[in-house]
A and B are shown apart, each in its own frame.
Chain A
Amino acid sequence: MATAEIELDAGASAHPSTLARFYREHERSIIGGGTLLAVLLIWEGVARSGLVDPLFLSSPIQIVKAGIDLFEGGEIWTHIQVSGSEFLLGYALSVAIGIPLGLATGWYRRLSYLLGPFIDALNAVPRLTLMPIIVIWFGIGIWSKAVVAFLGAVLPILIATNSGVRTSEARYLQVARSFSASELKIFTSIILPGTVPFIFTGLKYGIGRALLGVVVGELYAATAGLGYMIGEAGDTFQTSVVFFGVLIFTATGLVSVGVLDALERRFETWRPKAGAAS
């Protein structure tokens, strides 16, 4: 950082023009957007020049066209619906189980002794390797993917929540206890607010894990879904369709994390900011 500042100062005179000021204020977006645009242009150019087989590379315009075709064909809605329900089912389940269980294991020491070995063991196993067994158990329908998504997302959520409870400020607890606050009161007014940032960290991490589970599940064994669509398109060398499917997943991940960020800000507005008052 320090070096960049020095560089800038050397160039800028005492009265920077408005254009330079605008650039300096939006430097991040300008450089980021510019690079993105440049890459897309080069990609399109290379694809059009015929240097590389379009079968391998596709091109930004072809990908957009493929996307429009997919939506006009209407078939993609089924895939979105299937993948969406798998993702939502698995993620909702992992939230519904991960947060309460994380709170409980953080709060009750004995419970954490009881469940700790299972949580640690399950955490050590890459859960996606269980895919074949889960397919044996739940078939190739929606539920096997929902379970894989659940298994992927539940542990980060549970573990983050658990460590949130355990790192509660000990001084607050002591103060509350010396004023003989009830356990319930302590839990709702100290533990829970202190745990919220941890829960959100777990939730955000869980999104990626759940999406990964859905994709792997659908690549492995499925009859519908975006992962299935990508796999099929790959087999038939429809590179543009593959790219478009991947982009849908990217967008889903970005939007979900964005929503969680917004929610987190909502929850955190009451918290006094750390650091200097100004």
Chain B
Amino acid sequence: MSTQTVIGEGHVERPPPLVRWYAEHRRAVFGTLVAILFLLFWEGLSRGWWADALRPLIGHAADPLLVPPIFISSPSRIAAEAWRMFVVTREIWSDLRFSAMEYALGLGAAIAVGMPLGLASGWYRRLSYAVGPFLAGFNATPQVALLPLIIIWVGFGLAAKILIIFALAVLPIAISAQSAVRTTDARLLKVAHSFGAGEWHLFRTIILPSAVPFLLAGLRLAVGRAMIGIVVGEIFGSAVGVGAMINRSGSRFETDKVFVGVLVIAAAGMLLAELVHQIERRVEAWRPSV
């Protein structure tokens, strides 16, 4: 906005197209530039570009600028490793399949339990009193601490992973569903009541439609939290899965592989969040915008 004043010396009406394009996309241009510089800096650190360049000037003081790739890897090494794992040996696909399965089952269970529970405790005041202490306590607990208990209960297998993902994802869903019902427009409810609408009718035509944005917002939170479960759940006694791959590679100092795994999980998380976002837009299209 303020660029208008900077570039507008003399002719405010029509800045050249290139300048205009820059002004419109400044954020993106700047961001890309910074990202590229950062990647170059990183690559240079592990290849010793900066150490070599500065050594004539400051001698051995430049040595810390050469960081062995075992510590930081490098963008090119990570890209090469990703190519190898995805295309050449295709070793990552079985990990991906396993993690995706536990993720889908865990998140699915969290939705199946969290949404009805949240909706019900938003609707029935006494139920919310009854489950309140449990929700608050569970919310204050780092749910990951339950992992040793879960392992005692169900062992190291798939069930343990599903349960930990469930434990991480269920609360955001339940809590947002609860507040969704609570914040329903009271006037709408009154009107419906006075026209003698039944509970089920109220629920279906007023509560549920107005709850959808909250439910989806909770889902978006849960999608991210559940990603943690993949890594944490596979810390112990897991042979397959992206999290297990990350942990294994970390203990073997295969930093490149760790970064590939981290990026895969980050990408999956962003993709899912974007998916929920698209659903939100789709679902909200009918609502008159304020």
What's the minimum C-beta distance from B205 to chain A, rounded to whole angstroms? 15
Known contacts A2-B189, A4-B125, A234-B152; is-contact A132 B249 (Cβ 8 Å): yes
Within 8 A of A (CB), among B99-148: 123-126, 129-134, 136-148
- Contact present for B153 and A56 (CB under 8 Å): yes
Residues from chain A with Cβ under 8 Å of B98 in the complex:
none
A96-138 near B? 1/0 per residue, CB < 8 Å: 0000000000000000011011100100111011111101110
Q: How far is the CA of A55 from the CA of B153 in the complex (A)?
A: 9
Q: How far is the CB of B23 from chain A (nearest CB, A)?
A: 13
User: Are A126 and B265 closer than 8 Å at their CB atoms?
Assistant: yes
Partner of A3, one of B35, B199, B235: B199
Of B140, B149, B236, B263, the contact of A239 (CB 8 Å cutoff) = B149
**Which of A117, A121, A132, A246 contacts B247, CB < 8 Å?**
A132
Could you say which residues of chain A place their CB within 8 Å of the CB of B124? 4
In the bound complex, do residue B31 and residue A230 qualify as a contact, i.e. CB atoms below 8 Å apart?
A: no
Mask of B260-290 contacts with A, CB within 8 angstroms, 1/0: 0111011001100000000000000000000
The reply to whether B129 and A215 form a contact with Cβ atoms under 8 Å apart is: no
Asked if B137 and A250 make an inter-chain contact with CB atoms under 8 angstroms apart, the answer reads yes
CA distance A159 to B255 in the complex (A): 29
Q: Which residue on A lies nearest to B263, using beta carbons?
A: A125
Interface string of A1-14 (1 = CB under 8 A from B): 11110000000000
**Distance from B241 Cβ to chain A, minimum over Cβ atoms (Å):** 12
State in angstroms the CA–CA spacing of A234 and B155 once bound together: 11
Q: Across the interface, name the chain A residue whose C-beta is closest to B150.
A: A234
Given contacts A36-B133, A131-B231, contact A118 B38 (CB under 8 A): yes
Partner of B266, one of A56, A125, A132, A239: A125
| Contact residues in A for B199 (Cβ distance below 8 Å) | 3
Please give me the residue from chain A that is nearest to B137 by CB atom: A250
Most buried by A among B34, B138, B199: B34
The minimal Cβ–Cβ distance linking A101 to chain B, given in whole angstroms, is 16
Q: Is A200 part of the binding interface, using a Cβ–Cβ cutoff of 8 Å?
A: no
Specify the chain B residue showing the minimal Cβ separation from A133.
B258
Chain A's closest residue to B231 (CB) is: A129
> Would you give the shortest CB distance from A140 to chain B, in whole angstroms?
11
Give the secondary structure class of A's interface: helix
Q: Does A249 contact B (CB under 8 A)?
A: yes
Q: Which residues of A contact B126 (CB under 8 A)?
A: 4, 27, 31
Q: Is the CB of B186 within 8 A of A129?
A: no
Report if A246-B224 is in contact (Cβ < 8 Å); known contacts: A31-B130, A234-B151.
no
- The reply to whether the CB of A253 lies closer than 8 angstroms to some CB of chain B is yes
Contacts of B123 in A (CB 8 A): 3
In the complex, are the beta carbons of B142 and A215 less than 8 A apart? Answer: yes
Q: Does B60 interact with chain A (Cβ within 8 Å)? A: no
Q: Is the CB of A253 within 8 A of B142?
A: yes
B27 at the interface (CB under 8 A from A): yes
Q: Judge whether A133 and B259 touch: CB under 8 Å.
A: yes
A234 contact from B130, B149, B250, B255, Cβ within 8 A: B149
Interface contact B250-A254, CB-CB below 8 Å? no
Contact A126 B141 (CB under 8 A): no
B146 touches A246 (CB 8 A): yes
B246 at interface by CB-CB < 8 Å = yes
Residues of A within 8 A of B235 (CB): 216, 219-220
Q: Using Cβ atoms and an 8 Å threshold, which residues of chain B touch A242?
A: 148-149, 152
Q: Closest residue to B268 on the A side, CB-wise?
A: A126
CB-CB < 8 A to A1: which residues of B?
125, 182, 186
Asked if B232 CB lies within 8 Å of chain A CBs, one says: yes
Contact B149 A126 (CB under 8 A): no
In the complex, whether B251 has a CB less than 8 A from a CB of chain A is yes
CA distance A237 to B139 in the complex (A): 25
Contact (Cβ within 8 A) A136 B153 = no
The answer to whether residues A239 and B152 also contact, given A136-B250, A212-B144, A250-B140 and a CB cut-off of 8 A, is yes
Taking CB atoms, residues of chain A closer than 8 Å to B145 are 215, 227, 230, 245-246, 249
* Contact between A129 and B262, CB atoms less than 8 A apart: yes
User: A233 within 8 Å of B by Cβ?
Assistant: yes
- Residue B22, interface by CB 8 Å: no
A116 touching B130 in the complex, CB below 8 Å, given contacts A136-B253, A242-B148, A254-B137: no
Asked if A243 lies at the interface with its beta carbon under 8 angstroms from chain B, I say: yes
B236: chain A residues within 8 A (beta carbon):
219
Taking CB atoms, residues of chain A closer than 8 Å to B148 are: 219, 230-231, 233-235, 242
Indicate if A28 sits at the interface (CB-CB under 8 A).
yes
On whether the beta carbons of B31 and A113 are closer than 8 Å, the reply is yes
Chain B residue contacts of A211, Cβ below 8 A:
142
Shortest Cβ distance from A29 into chain B, in angstroms? 8
18 contacts between A and B (CB under 8 A): A2-B186, A28-B129, A31-B129, A117-B31, A125-B262, A125-B265, A125-B269, A129-B246, A129-B261, A131-B231, A133-B262, A135-B250, A211-B142, A212-B142, A219-B236, A220-B247, A231-B148, A253-B142
> Across chains A and B, which 4 residue pairs bring their CB atoms closest together, nearest first?
A132-B250, A234-B148, A253-B140, A31-B129
Residues of chain A having any CB pair with chain B under 8 Å: 1-4, 27-28, 31-36, 39, 55-56, 113-114, 116-118, 121, 124-126, 128-133, 135-137, 208, 211-212, 214-216, 219-220, 227, 230-231, 233-235, 237, 239, 242-243, 245-246, 249-250, 252-254, 257
